[in-house]
Amino acid sequence: MRIVVASGKGGTGKTLVATSLALVASERGRTTLLDCDVEAPNAALFLKPELNRKVAAISLIPEVDASLCTLCGRCGQVCQYHAIAVLPQKVMVFREMCHGCGSCAVNCPENAIREIPFSIGALEFGHAGAMAFGQGTLRVGEAMATPVIRQLKKQAAKIVVHDGDTVILDSPPGTACPVIEALRGADFALLVTEPTPFGLHDLKLAAEVARDVLHIPTAVVINKDGVGDQGVESFCREAGIPILMRIPLDRRIAETYSDGRPLIQALPEYRPAFEGLLARIRETVQGRAA
């Protein structure tokens, strides 16, 4: 069961929810938490895993052999990301914009493009108690988070995840390509939001991507419940998106978060709510599979 904890914007409490949900799940069976927020991974601050395996995150960048290239223009036409341009005298590759999709190399009629591995970050794996853990980190200055997330998921499947595990993915914020990569293959999307107009705006976008585009069962957690307005409640009611948990605005939560302590460990009174949340997600996923 792969549960992605996502949000339309950063700072809504995504990691707060993902880490406590993973802890509850790990008490009930084999669980892996993957921190896919590769530009700012911080789940490790709470779970304090022992990381004992590190591999490079690689992007394959095209290199053009000028002696074979006829400047036909095909590579520039097929690149969806404008990362390769065919000029009158030569072909230029803009590495920072390249997604490493390989399309230019496959489509080159002269076989003039080879793909060169280039390190864009790191993947680390280990354990936090009974829980397996993995995180990706995009190298500072690199722009492409998506390949790091893709490789984190792929390597995790080889290194730490076993069949039947519950895998909880802490997604990057937003609704762009990195989030779609985190959501790809998920059984459930849990969207964390705040009950404010900003929260509502970003929730709508995230719900559209997860539920309407990717067709993943989707539910909402409202964090800082009690502030703001009723907009999120109304939207969820009208859109038929269940609200599975409400976390109140509680100063103690902010304090435990800034101390780097998982919520259910610092404030055990919140444990039943997370147990209930996991049970509701399991029911939905199993009901869909039946």
The residues binding ligand SF4 (CB under 6 A) are 62, 64, 69-75, 78-79, 81, 83-84, 86, 91, 93, 98-104, 108, 110, 112-113
Our CB check for ligand SF4 shows the closer of 139 and 246 to be 139
Q: Least distance (Å) from ligand SF4 to the CB of residue 180?
A: 16
Our CB check for ligand SF4 shows the closer of 100 and 195 to be 100
State the number of CA atoms in the 13 A half-sphere of 8 facing the CB: 21
Q: Least distance (Å) from ligand SF4 to the CB of residue 101?
A: 4
Our CB check for ligand SF4 shows the closer of 75 and 236 to be 75
Separation of alpha carbons 191 and 214, rounded Å = 14
73 CB contacts (<8 Å, ≥6 apart)?
A: 86
Our CB check for ligand SF4 shows the closer of 106 and 130 to be 106
CA distances to 14, 19, 37, 59, 170 from 203, in Å:
13, 21, 18, 31, 16
Our CB check for ligand SF4 shows the closer of 41 and 121 to be 121
CA distances to 130, 138, 171 from 124, in Å:
17, 12, 16
Q: Least distance (Å) from ligand SF4 to the CB of residue 222?
A: 38
Separation of alpha carbons 278 and 283, rounded Å = 9
Q: Least distance (Å) from ligand SF4 to the CB of residue 176?
A: 16
Q: Least distance (Å) from ligand SF4 to the CB of residue 153?
A: 20
DSSP 163: T
